[in-house]
Structure 1
Amino acid sequence: MSELFDLIVIGGGPGGYVAALRASQLGLRVAVVESTHLGGICLNWGCIPTKALLRSSEIHHQLHNLSAFGFSAGNVSFDLEKIVGRSRAIARQMGRGIGHLLKKAKVPTYDGFAKLNGREGEAHRVDISKDGQAVVTLKAPHVIFATGARARQLPGLETDGKLVWSAREAMTPKELPKRLLVIGSGAIGIEFASFYRNMGSEVTIAEVADRILIAEDPEISAAARKSFEKQGMQIITGAKVGPLNKGENEVSTTIESAAGKVDLTVDRVICAVGIVGNVENLGLEGTKVQVDRTHIITDEFCRTGETGIYAIGDVAGAPWLAHKASHEGIICVEKIAGRSPEPLHALNVPGCTYSRPQIASVGLSEEKAIAAGHKVKVGRFPFIGNGKAVAMGETEGMVKTVFDAKTGELLGAHMIGAEVTEMIQGYVIARTGELTEAELMETVFPHPTISETMHEATLSAFDGALHI
């Protein structure tokens, strides 16, 4: 049995399902193949459920700091099972929503694993199997791989689901670990560190690089470290961890750094040391698709070296972000449909970390802008100078802007503080629209809002900040 489509999307995560929905809108007959759950890792075991957990931890923090707002409460406690249950229920709700959207768009979904199996004329054959048994063969001239990625495993630091957790176990703890080691300080590691610290765990972060949040501007990275250490986290950079010595219900290890050796015993370890693309068993052998370090090589329109084969999202490389995957899906499908989409500009893709405080950025850091040959003007504005931030009790934070001194181009924007993940889109629009400092200066920001710090940081770059 075989069925013919215009497009087959392999993977139902934020790249795959968005690509399928857009293809349906453009009149293509499209099918989605998903082996596990619609919404992918992001919706089920990443972006969405972690934000639900972080929201609970923020409330926990606020409940223990009520006096600043004139309140008091006694016997404050939490039910970890209910906190985790709420997170899982939200993930299920969102997953059902994806299924509804695909059904509404008349996009059939196939449950199973997909594998290329040659061509029949212009059409690629895609065999679908489930539990080792053949289910159906689909055919289409266009196939998009949106197979995502999984956590990287390092020798000696492998996750075991009990003492050494991956993100999945870290999202569904049966009990709160009193002592926790987080290996890796990217967005995933920092968010888990923030959640568990807010909930009362003793947290140590070990990072092999010389600073945490290596993808961020060094000034923002330093501000984040200062804040996290003020909260009680122990942070070790330039760290070499291992081996992990597992006991019955605890793990001991030695962490070496320039500061010396630290002997550490913890209840649990979270390993967040990067990802690898899901490129195995896709039938890429014998095709012109090229794979480099577990990621499929594509051009600016997500095309591989094999005609009619495309790749989007995490499996196609950095930045490994859900919104990047979704946008690539739209670009890819519009190109297939004969439209003329703009290629994705990676420097216009924002990055967000939902810790306390939040961190967000887009474009070049000051350091990278200078390295790229730009003469720069840099603006900074602290939250302490913003009326809304002071009223909210959220004075910890800052906004930093980097402009080209000659052209006024916004090269980058970097933010740390309350709600910056909601505000960064303003700078993303500015970069996408190729606005300069002139348009940003002329923009009227509403008062009182924390977003006024964005205006002030722009003015600051050109010696015009008003409230500092």
Structure 2
Amino acid sequence: MAYDVVVIGSGPGGYVAAIRASQLGLKTAVIEKESLGGICLNWGCIPTKALLKSASVFEYIQHAKDFGIEASGTADFAAIIKRSRGVADKMSKGVQFLMKKNKIDVVLGFGKIKSKGVVEVTGADGKVQNVEGKHIIIATGARSRVLPNLPQDGKKVIGYREALTLPQQPKTMIVVGSGAIGVEFGYFYNALGTQVTVVEYAPRIVPVEDEDISKEFEKSLKKKGINVLTSAEVTKVDTSGNGVKATVKTAAGEQILEADVVLSAAGIQANIEGIGLEENNIKTEKGKIAVDKYYQTNVPGVYAIGDCAPGQALAHVASKEGIICIENIAYNEKKYNHQPEALDYGNVPGCTYASPEIASVGFTEKQAKEAGYEIKVGKFPLSASGKASAAGHTEGFVKVIFDAKYGEWLGTHMIGYNVTEIIIETVVARKLETTHHEVLNSIHPHPTISESVKDAIEVAYGEAIHL
């Protein structure tokens, strides 16, 4: 079996790269060891959003009186998990359809680069076959990072996969790590009635976000009854009893927390073992595959995209990397009329889908100052938004940061209702090098959450109407 492009892995990087390759006339195959769609569709982005929607519906029912409605209901944990798995299965079947539609061959099994242009695929039955490809793209993704002091047994100490399919709802849970994965699961289980404690090693939760976002989010979590420990570390766990005893080291000293389950959400690690990197002298750096701006490794004809490469470990980053990689290959093969533009990693939006949602892009206030900018900052509270009040979600704010000298839009940081849907305005505006003038001269629809972006810019420039 000989192809122009062979992609190892079918997550949002791999399957998107394969489709773009097929569109550009390259004969393509995808090698997948488990389920089409990878972690994102099957065990990440999609099923978690289904769980979060169930939690949101349950919260609405609990607060129905606030909306003038008499309603009551109980959460059926097993049914919620079943719906989430159904949503994931549907999306995976959608990728199967796209593979057939685009005439992409799917080879099931574990792919390993055997030699130049050859991938050895070992099927579930142990049978081995070779797949030849002029260009080989590694898109093997990542998995839950296992901490030395927090070994995962899949039952009492779990990763995100187990958190999606627990047989029964735990009464108590410790979440280690307050990145997107940790706080999304923390919110979900708390909303259904689990007593949740979040343990974060950094001095503040969601530590990659702007400091104002962290403060607001911590306040929201505590209001929901979630216990938050920052500058804290789980040093050991004891799983010998019915539940788990976790020893947590804080500035105030050690304490022992007891819970039914500990969820380890302290980041991810790339899946780069056993895929032929060492045998083919493919270079790695800091646990990821080293690549150039077009995702070429140090070995000609071998590329890497997505979570196994150095960029942000986000599905939308993997997809764009896959497209850029393929378009560059096609350009060099004279099948595409121009070289693609390299990805700007400084303009990648990040989203967290807990409640309230978090969305951000660009410089934080601290980063902008450290970069030497003189800045204008505007902050608009959603308590002053008509749409937020009507929706019953007035917590949070929109914060914008501009360069005072030239009016460059440096960053936006939002926390609140539905904000993940409106961060794109900043992304596109920054791409177009838009200043505050263009945004303020563009009419924003009313009432919407999105007009809060315009309101925040008005605050930054001393033109606030609604504050």
TM bucket (normalised to shorter chain) is over 0.9
User: Aligned residue for 1:44?
Assistant: 42
Shift of the alpha carbon at 1:237?
0.4
Deviation at 1:134, TM superposition (A): 4.1
Post-superposition Cα deviations, 1:370-402, rounded to whole Å, max 9, x if no partner, equal 111111111110001111111111110100011
Mapping 1:217-256, distance limit 5 Å: 217-256=210-249
Residue in structure 2 matched with residue 380 of structure 1 by the alignment:
379
Q: What corresponds to 1:356 in structure 2?
A: 355
Give 2:18's match in structure 1, choosing from 17, 20, 26: 20
Equivalent of 1:298 in 291, 303, 306: 291
Query: For residue 107 of structure 1, what is the aligned residue in structure 2?
Result: 104
CA-to-aligned-CA distance 1:200-233 (integer Å, 9 cap, x gap): 1111000000000011001101110011111111
Q: What's 1:57 paired with?
A: 55
**Residue range with higher mean Cα deviation, 8-17 or 369-378:** 369-378
How far is 1:18 from its partner? 0.2
Q: Distance in 1 between matches of 2:406 and 2:134?
A: 45
Supply the distance in 2 between the matched residues of 1:408 and 1:56 (Cα, whole angstroms).
Answer: 42
Secondary structure of residue in 1 paired with 2:423:
helix
| Deviations, residues 248-297 of structure 1 (Å, cap 9, x unaligned) | 43111232212443321111110001111111111122435211122001
Query: Tell me, what secondary structure is at the counterpart of 1:72?
Result: coil
Contact 2:149/2:234, CA 8 A, preserved across alignment: no
Provide the residue aligned with 1:152 in structure 2.
145
2:255 aligned with 1:262, yes or no? yes
- Whichever residue aligns with residue 378 of structure 1, its letter is V
Partner of 2:188: 195
1:464 aligns with 2:457: no
1:167 aligns with 2:160: yes
Partner of 1:30: 28
- Kindly provide the amino acid, as one letter, of the partner of residue 105 in structure 1: N
Q: Distance in 1 between matches of 2:253 and 2:412?
A: 35
Note the C-alpha offset of 1:317.
2.4
Matched, 1:117 2:110: no
Match of 1:68 in 2: 66
- Partner Cα separation in structure 2 for residue 337 and residue 425 of structure 1: 29
Contact 1:210 1:237 in 2 (8 A): yes
1:158-184, CA deviations, whole angstroms, 9 ceiling, x for partnerless residues?
111111111111111222111110000
Shift, 1:39, TM fit? 0.4
Corresponding residue SS for 1:90: helix
Q: Deviations over 1:303-322 (max 9, x none)?
A: 11111111000000231000
Identity across matched positions, percent: 47
State the partner residue of 1:86. 83
1:246: how far off?
1.3
The question of whether the paired residues in 2 share the 8 Å contact of 1:127 and 1:134 is answered with no
The alpha carbon displacement at 1:431 in A equals 1.4
The answer to whether the 8 Å contact 1:208/1:238 transfers is yes
Residue type of the partner of 1:168?
Answer: R
Matched residue SS, 1:242: strand
Work out the CA distance in 2 between the residues paired with 1:151 and 1:64.
33
> Which secondary structure does the structure 2 equivalent of 1:5 belong to?
strand
Which of 183, 189, 202 pairs up with 1:209? 202
> Does the 8 Å CA contact 1:278/1:294 hold for their aligned counterparts?
no
Could you say which residue in structure 1 is the equivalent of 2:94?
A: 97
> Cα offset for 1:132?
7.1
Q: 1:420-439, aligned counterparts within 5 Å?
A: 420-439=419-438
Alpha-carbon distance in 1 for matches of 2:373, 2:135: 41
Q: Please tell me whether the aligned partners of residues 163 and 249 of structure 1 are also in contact (alpha carbons under 8 angstroms).
A: no
Q: How far apart, in 1, do the equivalents of 2:227 and 2:252 lie?
A: 13
User: Whole-Å Cα distance in 2 between the matches of residues 222 and 357 of structure 1?
Assistant: 13
In 1, Cα distance between the equivalents of 2:384 and 2:15?
43
Instruction: Find the aligned partners of 1:13 and 1:141 in 2 and give their Cα distance.
Output: 21
Q: Which runs of 5+ in 2 are unaligned?
A: 332-337
Matches of 1:248 and 1:172, distance apart in 2: 22
Q: Which residue of 2 aligns with 1:368?
A: 367
Are the equivalent residues in 1 in contact too, given 2:361–2:423 (CA < 8 A)? Answer: yes
Alignment check: 8 A CA contact 1:158 1:164 kept: yes
| Structure-2 separation of matches of 1:398 and 1:373 | 25
1:21-71 Cα distance to aligned partner (Å, 9 max, x none): 001111111110011111000100000000000000011111111111112
Runs of 4+ off more than 4 Å: none
Q: Distance in 1 between matches of 2:17 and 2:112?
A: 19
Report if the CA contact (8 A) 1:365-1:412 is conserved: yes
Q: Which ranges in structure 1 are unaligned for 5 or more consecutive residues?
A: none
TM-score by length of 2: 0.97
- CA distance in 1: counterparts of 2:317 and 2:273, whole angstroms: 22
**How many residues are paired up?**
461
Q: Secondary structure at the match of 1:362?
A: strand
Alignment-derived partner of residue 337 in structure 1 = 330
Moved more, 458-467 or 381-390: 458-467
TM-score (norm 1): 0.96
SS of the residue aligned with 2:56?
helix
Corresponding position of 2:74: 77
- The 8 Å contact of residues 75 and 192 in structure 2, kept in 1 or not, is answered as no
Deviations 1:333-373 (A, max 9, x none): 00000031111111111100000100000111010111111
Which residue number corresponds to residue 419 of structure 1?
A: 418
